[in-house]
Amino acid sequence: MWFCTALFFFRAQAEQRNKQNKETMILFDHSGETTNHTAAELELAKLIERLDANLRAISGQGRIALASSLSAEDMVLTDVIARLSLPIDIFTLQTGRLHSDTVAMIERTRLRYGLTIREVEPEANALAQFVATHGLNGFYESLEARKACCGVRKLEPLGRALSGYDAWVTGQRREQALTRDQLDEREHDTAHDLIKHNPLASWQWADVLAYAEHFQVPLNPLHARGYVSIGCDPCTRAIRPGEHARDGRWWWENADTKECGLHQNNPNKEANA
Ligand code: SF4
């Protein structure tokens, strides 16, 4: 029942945006016509203009990489990179436990934009050792085991993925989690001694969907099935009406532990590293 309600919720949001965006192209064609758009369209135009300028500036600051989870936020950033032909590389952490819909997004992105997303995999020996010690799904048993799994499948590969870059870009938003409510657009990633940019920090989920709809950005089908946050298959689920987005991640844990350690610079980070 909750599943159907979530689907209805997403469809209702899409219909509402359709209604609001009928005249949006007038807003973006620089024709000088400014009388036929809504406040929502003006707000979206401002967001896009600022995001474009931000990513353009970031792309000129050395070797830059986008860490993509193939979520809607990261597809928005991918769309900007493609639309503006920015020299920003894209990689994803291929943990080996991603949902098939998420894996399929890699090819969909290539077909749509002609961009290659580099897949960075766990180190084979470390992964074999984790599985031998904790079992394939040992992460359900304890926080320690869960962090060990994220360490092998995500953290160590992230370090390798970022090697040689001057800065990285993420699709993190403050609204996403308790652990992200103080998120800055630009921060120092002490773990990797790099600048980390979070250009969508102030964006709402509705902003992400509005951008995606405006530019017809391909989205992970999981979103339409109630998944707001995208992660590994066994650790991510659709949320029910009234639940927070982060309730779909590691739902058996407390809200203040729900980070995999990829993002260690937020003020509440220490408990999550
Ligand atoms: S999200 Fe789950 S499956 Fe993925 S690395 Fe972390 S514990 Fe392992």
| DSSP-derived secondary structure for 148-180 | HHHIIIIIHHHHHHHTT-SEEE----GGG-GGG
Pocket of ligand 1 (CB under 6 A): 95, 97, 139, 146, 149-150, 153-154, 231-232, 234-235, 260
In this structure, the dihedral spanned by the alpha carbons of residues 108, 109, 114 and 116, taken in order and rounded to 10 degrees, is -110
Give the CA count within 13 Å in the CB-facing half-sphere of 231: 20
pTM of full prediction above 0.95: no
Ligand 1 atom index nearest CA of 249: 1
The string of pLDDT tens digits covering residues 127-169 is 999 999 999 999 999 889 999 999 999 999 999 999 999 999 9
Mention every residue, 6+ apart, whose C-beta is less than 8 A from residue 68: 74, 75, 77, 78, 90, 91, 92, 117, 171
Distance 150 CA to ligand 1 centre (A): 5
CA distance 97 to 167: 27
Confidence at 5, pLDDT banded by 50, 70, 90: very low
Least confident of 30-39, 49-58, 177-186: 30-39
CA distance 157 to 151: 9
Q: What percent of the chain has pLDDT over 90?
A: 67
The residue whose C-alpha atom lies closest to atom 4 belonging to ligand 1 is: 232
Helix axes 124-134 and 143-150, enclosed angle (nearest 10): 160
Distance 66 CA to ligand 1 centre (A): 20
Given ligand 1 and candidates 95, 120, 246, which is best to mutate, with the most ligand atoms within 8 Å of its CB? Answer: 95
The residue whose C-alpha atom lies closest to atom 2 belonging to ligand 1 is: 235
Identify which of 202, 180, 196 has the alpha carbon closest to the alpha carbon of residue 258: 180
Catalytic residue annotation: 260
Identify the structural domains of the chain with CATH numbers, from first to last: 2-15+52-272 (3.40.50.620)
The string of pLDDT tens digits covering residues 164-204 is 999 999 999 999 877 788 999 999 999 999 999 999 999 99
CA distance 100 to 4: 22
